[in-house]
Chain A
Amino acid sequence: MSDKQKLTVIPFGPQHPVLPEPIQLQFYVDEERIVDVLPNLGYVHRGIERATELNDYRRNIYLCERICGICNVIHGQTYAGIIEKLTDTEVPTRAKYLRTIWAEVARLQSHLLWLGLFSESIGFESLFMKIWRDRELVLELTEATNGHRIHMGTTVIGGVSKDMDERLQSRYLTDMDRLRKEVDDWSHVFYKDAAVREKTIGKGILPKADAVHLGAVGPTVRGSGVPMDMRCNGYEAYGELDFKPITHDGCDSYARTLVRLDEVYQSIELIKRAVNQLPEGPLANKNDRFPDGVAIYRTEQPRGECFYYAVGNGTIHLERCRIRTPTLPNIPPLLQMLVGHDVADIPTIVHSIDPCISCTERITYVKEAA
């Protein structure tokens, strides 16, 4: 600590133009170079886990969908998945396909949102506007599906609550073709533009061994060349869609950007494939048991692996529901990425893990007055 006392401390956040949500990072800097970083969380603790224990387990699905606005579809599906495990409910194949399609739509809008925000953190405002204009296509598709732009709310325990008729299916196919054309219009900027490359290549290095050792998830770990993706486990309909994870070996912010950009193309292909293969059948099976036992369930969110652990005791309430969102395991790698870089690189490096702080907060520490 004696060495640290000579260093300048720069607080970054909790309110900062780059951060959409409150997290504080204290940077110990030696002139312009970052020597150490201390994170400080706990500004938006909402008590979600306690609320899941107090609620009826059937109502929880709506609560879990509201943990994160961007990942709402996949949070709902993960909670439904774990309850289906605890109650031995079988999900019909058509419902599995529909869940996959809607999860990929959520991934598309999240990645487009991130690519826009990331280009804004570089200072590329026109690219940000162009990407967000194309994101509207996906949001309109979500609205046409079930009436809300962000919260789709189609998942129920045992299946889905909404069907996809032929008119909607053909709209999905044409809109995906249109979106692909629009993405082609600006994706070359990420591959070729000097401003983007200079701000990202060689910044926020996370070597492959460290990414595994520190437990990074999602595009952060895939940007370091580790093919770790929960969709490989083949939950929902991913097993039948010939899914292969996308990796890049750059280990820097640029590699993480390319992983997300390629995943946009991959999601478009997956949606088209799933809509073309959509089988006939019922939408949901009824579950007539209370959750009993212990289970875990993992899904892949746009930001990485989402982990649920639940204990049921045969009553209408869950005894415990642990929710780990992907930003939490991505914070230790972030702290390592930042060390050794300049202060000017902080926004792009912090953004490169796609932090979603409100979903992450599970505990708050209150210091007692002396």
Chain B
Amino acid sequence: MPRFLGNILENLFGKPATVRYPFERPEHVPGTRGEISFDMSKCDQCQDCERLCPSGAIEVDVEGKRIEWDPYRCIYCHLCVRSCMHQAITALDNVQPPVYRLEKKVFET
């Protein structure tokens, strides 16, 4: 019983372990592997990211100079970010909000 008492008092007066989500947002961790974004002014369409992507989420159109990225195929491994020679891919540390339609993201010059 004395062991329980300490626990009960701790739970009564301590802070809750959970976060009341819609009212409070959990603390954001820097370096979270979130969405990626292409800087088309740096990109030279070498297609390294397309070749390396484990889930085939990136499509590079060399002639049209546009890149399509499918956020729903992407497994957020950030291999493309690490391997890009020109540092044209930036990693954002966000978590994608819910959406109504599954659409690809297009990056153009």
Contacts and interface: CB of A to CB of B under 8 A. Distances in A.
Q: Is chain B a partner of chain A in the same complex?
A: yes
Given A143-B32, A147-B31, A148-B33, A63 B54 contact: yes
B48 interface: no
B85 interface: no
Given A62-B77, A148-B76, A136 B33 contact: no
B44 interface: no
Nearest to B93: A147
Given A59-B54, A63-B54, A133-B17, A143 B29 contact: yes
**Chain A interface residue bracket vs B:** 10 to 19
Contact of B33 (A55, A59, A63, A147): A147
Given A133-B17, A136-B17, A161-B82, A144 B77 contact: no
Nearest to A66: B75
A223 interface: no
B31 A153 contact: no
A61 B78 CA distance: 14
Contacts of A144: 29, 31
A153 to B, nearest CB: 5
A146 interface: yes
Interface string B41-56: 0000000000010110
A116 to B, nearest CB: 13
Interface string B76-92: 11110010000000000
Contacts of A61: 54
A147 B32 CA distance: 4
Given A62-B77, A66-B75, A153-B77, A147 B29 contact: yes
Contacts of A140: 29
Contacts of B17: 133, 136
B79 to A, nearest CB: 8
Contacts of B75: 62, 66, 151
A147 B52 CA distance: 20
A146 B54 contact: no
Contact of A148 (B32, B54, B79): B32
A140 B79 CA distance: 22
A136 B78 CA distance: 24
Nearest to B31: A147
B53 to A, nearest CB: 8
Contacts of A62: 54-55, 75, 77, 79
Interface in B2-58: 17, 29, 31-34, 52, 54-55
13 contacts: A62-B77, A62-B79, A66-B75, A133-B17, A144-B29, A144-B31, A146-B33, A147-B32, A147-B33, A147-B34, A147-B78, A147-B93, A161-B82
Interface of B: 17, 29, 31-34, 52, 54-55, 75-79, 82, 93
